[in-house]
């Protein structure tokens, strides 16, 4: 095998891993990598701020389930990614960052633009390593790709500029992404079924881990006559075509979702990791099924926990669960749900005078947007209106900063979605504060001719913060 540059190895390895797009800002320490990328099938997308690259790559990766790259120069360039990558990592999006670095012989000397990226990115990555020699480049990149894809998160590879241009006889390696079935053992399934059978007022709290399990979830609810409460991140996978759906709980939720969980005697948590413990029931038997053992009981004490992918587990659980005829508890919660829906519809009516109410504005978007549209929303009140007034339909997708809670994510994430899905409508619901924070990347929309629809809510304030201040009786600052 003839000698090749490490930059060439990196790009070929990324292509093998399925990378189609790389978002970033060029710089001298990145030049050898971007030069190789220009001759590859990976499209480079130049943004105005690296934080936007982190958001955009994460949105594309999350919605395509495909490894997506971002890359930047040494020092400040590499640091600017961090908030966008924190968002992507907490969303469990498979992203790889190529953080180029000053020449390796200069490291440790407080050289201009020297940053210890390994320390910086440890807390928001599933893999974080530096390529130390040319020969180890294929293995490091392969491990990074496999970690991002299989552990679902951000992988960071630090590449000193002298290493990127160094030559090696090493060859690229196969990227492995197995798809194992993950299901509780038979005894655990029997225990779960027995607890569900014993309950008189069973409720289901379903999260994003229910992706791909919609039909079995509705079938289980029908079998045990249980209202289904969904987390905000589970909205897209649960609320559509679902007569047992009663909405969300928590500060974004509604009375029906709150009451279903508070009044149940058995609560089945499915792929849900809702953080606010005060919204869990006080005296119910709680069963939790999650694909990560570390999630079991971490938000609230539980009676029984099992590891399993929800889509795999429900099909095995359904035959073990009794069919119940008493639907009194569900009907009780359904009446509360219907009142909540009527109240929402009243909020969505056009009001006289100005300003236009956001509920009415977002209800119009809901009516007129494409049936398979993507919606993003900035952190703050914009994501409240998105979650409450946009119907997912089973064909739409919504994305907001529900775990990291950042501002300024809506437009950058819309960029990534429109790049990945050029044929679909992408609508970004922006707060005026969020949009202004990364306003420079409006030029990226123009540069790439991306038909993203930006809807800006003119709050004249950081609206959600203002509401929080008023609730606490504090002055508006």
Cα–Cα dist 401/383, whole Å = 8
Q: How far is it, in rounded angstroms, from Cα 148 to Cα 171?
A: 21
Q: Please name the residue that has the structure tokens 């009451």.
A: 259
Angle at 281 between CA 277 and CA 286, to 5 degrees: 95
Closest CA to 184 of 306, 68, 11, 330: 306
DSSP string, 173-238: -PPP---------HHHHHHHHHHHHH-SSEEEEE-GGGTT-HHHHHHHHHHHT--EEE-STTHHHH
45 beta partners: 23
What is this structure's pTM?
0.94
In angstroms, the CA 334 to CA 55 distance is: 38
Alpha-carbon dihedral angle through residues 405, 54, 235, 19, given to the nearest 10 degrees: -160
| Rounded Cα gap, residues 420 and 61, in angstroms | 9
Q: What is the pLDDT of residue 265?
A: 98
Q: Which CATH number fits domain 4-168: 3.50.50.60, 3.50.50.100, 3.40.50.300, 3.40.50.970?
A: 3.40.50.970
Closest CA to 377 of 404, 406, 361, 400: 400
- Fold adopted by 351-471: Rossmann fold (3.40.50)
Q: Are 293 and 308 a contacting pair, CB within 8 Å?
A: no
pLDDT of residue 352: 75
- Ranges of H-type helices in 3-156: 6-16, 31-37, 50-64, 76-79, 82-90, 117-120, 137-150
If the chain, 477 residues long, is cut into consecutive pieces of 10 residues, what is the mean pLDDT of each piece? 92 98 98 98 98 99 98 97 98 98 94 95 98 97 98 98 96 92 97 98 98 98 98 97 96 94 98 95 96 96 98 97 97 96 89 84 97 97 95 97 96 99 98 95 98 92 64 64
Measured CA to CA, the distance from residue 251 to residue 267 in angstroms comes to 20
In our burial notation (b when 16+ CB lie closer than 10 A, e otherwise), range 31-47 reads bbbbbbbeeeebebbeb
pLDDT score for 471: 60
| Rounded Cα gap, residues 123 and 172, in angstroms | 28
Specify the pLDDT at position 135: 96
Domain positions in the chain:
4-168, 186-340, 351-471
Residue 367: what pLDDT?
A: 97
* Residue at token pair 């549209």: 373
Question: DSSP alpha helices (H): ranges in 348-431?
Answer: 358-368, 381-389, 410-420
Domains 4-168 and 351-471 share a fold: yes
DSSP H or E stretch at residue 471: helix 463-471
Residues facing 158 on adjacent strands: 99, 130
Residue with tokens 């089973």: 394
For the domain 186-340, what is the CATH code? 3.40.50.1220
């Amino acid at each position: 095998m003839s000698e090749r540059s490490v930059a060439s190895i990196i790009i070929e390895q990324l292509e093998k891993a399925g990378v189609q797009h790389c978002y970033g800002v060029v710089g001298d320490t990145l030049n050898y990598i971007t030069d190789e990328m220009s001759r590859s099938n990976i499209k480079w997308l130049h943004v105005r701020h690296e934080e936007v690259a982190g958001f955009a790559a994460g949105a594309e990766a999350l919605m395509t389930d495909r490894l997506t790259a971002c890359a930047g120069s040494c020092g400040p360039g590499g640091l600017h990614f961090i908030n966008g990558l924190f968002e992507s990592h907490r969303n469990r999006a498979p992203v790889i960052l190529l953080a180029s670095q000053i020449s390796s012989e200069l490291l440790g000397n407080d050289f201009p633009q020297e940053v210890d990226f390994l320390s910086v990115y440890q807390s928001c990555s599933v893999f974080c390593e530096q390529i130390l020699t040319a020969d180890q480049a294929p293995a490091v990149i392969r491990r990074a790709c496999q970690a991002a894809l299989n552990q679902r998160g951000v992988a960071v590879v630090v590449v000193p500029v002298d290493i990127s241009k160094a030559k090696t006889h090493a060859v690229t390696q196969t990227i492995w992404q197995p798809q194992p079935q993950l299901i509780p053992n038979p005894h655990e399934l029997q225990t779960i079924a027995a607890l569900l059978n014993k309950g008189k007022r069973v409720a289901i709290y379903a999260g994003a881990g229910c992706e791909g399990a919609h039909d079995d979830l509705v079938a289980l609810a029908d079998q045990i006559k249980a209202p289904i409460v969904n987390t905000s991140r589970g909205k897209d996978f649960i609320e559509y075509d679902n007569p047992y759906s009663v909405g969300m709980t928590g500060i974004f939720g509604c009375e029906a979702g709150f009451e279903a969980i508070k009044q149940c005697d058995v609560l089945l948590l499915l792929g849900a990791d809702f953080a606010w413990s005060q919204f869990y029931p006080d005296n119910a038997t709680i069963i939790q099924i999650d694909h990560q053992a570390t999630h079991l009981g971490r938000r609230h004490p539980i009676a029984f926990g099992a590891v399993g992918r929800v889509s795999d587990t429900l099909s095995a659980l359904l035959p073990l669960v009794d069919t119940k005829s008493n639907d009194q508890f569900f009907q009780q919660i359904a009446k509360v749900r219907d009142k909540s829906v009527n109240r929402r519809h009243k909020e969505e009516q056009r009001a006289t005078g100005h300003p236009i109410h956001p509920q009415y504005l977002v209800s119009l978007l809901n009516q007129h947007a494409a049936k398979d549209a993507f919606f993003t929303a900035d952190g703050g009140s914009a994501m409240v209106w998105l979650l409450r007034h946009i119907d997912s339909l089973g064909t739409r997708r919504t994305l907001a900063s529900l775990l990291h809670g950042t501002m300024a994510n809506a437009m950058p994430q819309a960029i990534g979605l429109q790049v990945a899905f050029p044929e679909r409508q992408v609508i970004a619901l922006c707060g005026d504060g969020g949009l202004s924070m990364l306003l420079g990347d409006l030029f990226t929309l123009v540069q790439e001719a991306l038909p993203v629809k930006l809807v800006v809510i003119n709050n004249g304030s950081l609206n959600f913060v203002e509401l929080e201040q008023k609730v606490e009786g504090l002055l508006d600052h």
